[in-house]
Amino acid sequence: MAVVCMVFFIVMCCQEISLAKELQINQALVILHNTLSKHNVSVLYLSDYCYKCLYQLLIRAAVQQGDHPTNASATVSVLFPLTLQIVVGQEHNYSAICSRHDSFGEFGHYSIWVHSASGNESVHDLSCRYTTDRAPVNSYLPIAVAFAIMIGLTFIYATGCYLRRLKCTQRYALQLLGTFAHSTSVELSPVPSADDSAQPKRPKSRRLRSLDTFRGLALTAMIFVNYGGGGYWFFEHGPWNGLTVADLVMPWFVFMIGTSVALSFNSMLRRGIHRLQLLRKLTWRTIILLLIGVFYINYGPADGHFSWERVRIPGVLQRLGFTYFVIAVMETCCAKKELKQYLDSFWAPVRDILIYWPEWIFIILLETLWLCLTFLLPVPGCPRGYLGAGGIGDDGKFPNCTGGAAGYIDKWLLGANHIYGYPTCKELYHTTEPFDPEGVLGTINSVLMAFIGLQAGKIILAYRPSNLSILKRFLIWAVLLGFISAVLTKCGREEGFIPVNKNLWSLSFITTTGCFSFILLGLMYYVIDVKEWWGGEPFIFLGMNSIFVYVGHSVLGWYFPFSWQMKHENTHAERLLQDLVGTAIWVLIAYMLYRKKFFLKI
């Protein structure tokens, strides 16, 4: 860790530190120089990620006074490319001079000069000149260095594991141990003989290490992005439509809920546990998840006194708890103890689907309900089936329609004061309405995502021990879900029938993340459980204590050593260092709990 810290502080070059004193992270400075004596000049801006949005005023410079041009400046976000439009005239009576589409660099200084070619200052005689006064910094250098370090550490670890398994290495280690024992008079235990190795080995555990590893990977990513992700935009949730790294984490958890339910419930039924006992167990677990979610999400050291008037009802653990309850009740009613009796049937190749037909009917009806509410429910002041962010989007026609039916249902059922008031679209789309990404309507599709994960578990149960059949069916599901996503989105971010949207948990969001989940779980299953090339370290440690780590990182995230007062807060380097250190500490804590055999279960 000391080496990593040293490398990162070397990466924090003097240029980035000095520029960070003037600007905030992910910002650039734009300066407008007006050399006209008859016209006010304004700069309007539009982000590429703001769909059908209205231009917003960025800078306005008054007419030139005397011989010196009038200057005005403003900061712009460098997260997404911008279109700048330079206009003259008064508000609502603009005349465009020129426009420029550009991606600004972090901490860069840019100037726009507006002047007249002939001096008569007619609109058609005006022109613009763009200059870069100060070059931006390479904001991606810290994460490139961090990635290189992680790749290097992974290579060293893999090489060490490989060398440790070699017979020559083992013999050399035994020789060293023998020499050490002889010099210290320590008696070594005898080396197992060939006869000993012929003894029957202890049967392997049927627990899927790949599933725990997948869960741990998702939790590690969640901790990192929740701590800030180094201030990089792709480690934050997307403004509205689209997909970022942070958007993948929650659906992965929901997918694994379904897979875990399929495997664990089948195991309990085979052990003779009655279905009524399962129902009591899952009900208790749901209640605990809901209570933890409500209390921890609404109170923290900096929140002051708890307020019932503004308590947020939806949340991550609440959604996970409700999703688990629906899937677990469904599986309690429909799970099969033994699947071997279906092997001789003509429909055996699809037995993982046909023998669970009641579950499929329930899910189809549930998804039909989501489609009807989303596209047919009348929302006051909004068009039917509206999926936009509202605000200045869609040419500003529906400013109060954020989320369409999903937002309307949450405000109607829960009240505007009891849902999330700062959605990810607020800054980009200038929205004023609250919107909860863990709302009621989106929870229906959360159940669908868990059902997709449930199918992964059923595939493992139905086709084990044929690993090839399991992997082929994982691939079939991934291709099918990917094809549905391509149709729904028309392979684009905005123009599809149903865009990928994490805030709404849209149908295309479920099929897209479900496709990724099958691919990732299939790869891990092959590498970890089939070939045993990797034991899942270090992610498996977090995956086996996920509730403890999730709640712990949320409650203690603002305390030392998980965070500290940064000297250069406006640099990616120190932010990234802090977030990586905080994440690494939780990995270490999970490893220590694993060694102590402490596993928090609900």
Q: How many whole angstroms separate alpha carbon 225 and alpha carbon 575?
A: 12
For the packed helices 245-270 and 316-334, what is the interaxial angle rounded to 10 degrees? 30
For the chain, the 3-state helix, strand and coil shares in percent, each to the nearest 5, are: 55, 10, 35
pLDDT at 160: 78
For the packed helices 546-556 and 209-226, what is the interaxial angle rounded to 10 degrees? 10
Q: How far is CA 86 from CA 44, 92, 282, 507, 547, in A?
A: 6, 14, 61, 40, 53
In the predicted structure, residue 473 carries a pLDDT above the cut 70: yes
Give residue 255's pLDDT band: very low, low, confident or very high (50, 70, 90).
very high
pLDDT at 313: 85
- 449 half-sphere exposure, CB direction, 13 A CA radius: 34
In the predicted structure, residue 475 carries a pLDDT above the cut 70: yes
pLDDT at 581: 92
CATH fold of 27-134 reads Immunoglobulin-like (2.60.40)
Joined tokens for residue 460? 């493992």
Nearest partner of 60 among 43, 46, 45, judged by Cα: 43
CB-based contact 545:568 (threshold 8 Å): no
pLDDT at 346: 56
Catalytic residue flag (residue 237)? yes
In the predicted structure, residue 392 carries a pLDDT above the cut 70: yes
Region of poorest pLDDT, from 307-321, 377-391, 476-490 = 307-321
For 260-288, the pLDDT digits (tens) are 999 998 888 888 888 888 899 999 999 98
Residue 543, strand partner residues: none
For 331-367, the pLDDT digits (tens) are 998 877 776 655 556 566 677 777 888 899 999 999 9
Within 10 angstroms of residue 260's Cβ, the number of other Cβ atoms is 21
* Residue bearing the bigger pLDDT, 429 or 201: 429
- Residue 520's contacts (CB-CB under 8 Å, 6 or more residues apart) are 214, 217, 252
Q: How many whole angstroms separate alpha carbon 377 and alpha carbon 440?
A: 14
The SS3 of residue 532 is coil
Q: How far is C-alpha 544 from the geometric centre of its chain's CA atoms?
A: 20
In the predicted structure, residue 578 carries a pLDDT above the cut 60: yes
- Order of strands across the sheet that contains 41-47: 56-61, 41-47, 82-90, 93-102
Catalytic residue, chosen from 33, 39, 109, 237, is: 237
Look up residue 65 and give its DSSP letter. Answer: B
Joined tokens for residue 175? 């020789």
State pTM to two decimals: 0.88
Taking every pair of Cα atoms in the chain, the longest distance, rounded to a whole number of angstroms, is: 103
Q: How far is CA 403 from CA 237, 267, 320, 485, 568, in A?
A: 16, 41, 21, 20, 37
User: Mean pLDDT over residues 145-150, rounded?
Assistant: 88
β strands within 204-332, DSSP E: none
pLDDT at 413: 92
Residue 72, strand partner residues: 32
Nearest partner of 84 among 115, 59, 61, judged by Cα: 59
Joined tokens for residue 56? 């917003």
Region of poorest pLDDT, from 121-135, 195-209, 220-234 = 195-209
In the predicted structure, residue 566 carries a pLDDT above the cut 70: yes
Q: How many whole angstroms separate alpha carbon 481 and alpha carbon 362?
A: 19
In the predicted structure, residue 412 carries a pLDDT above the cut 60: yes
Residue with tokens 């947020």: 312
User: Mean pLDDT over residues 32-56, rounded?
Assistant: 88
Domain boundaries, the chain: 27-134, 211-269+278-371+384-534
The SS3 of residue 501 is strand
Residue with tokens 């990732």: 520
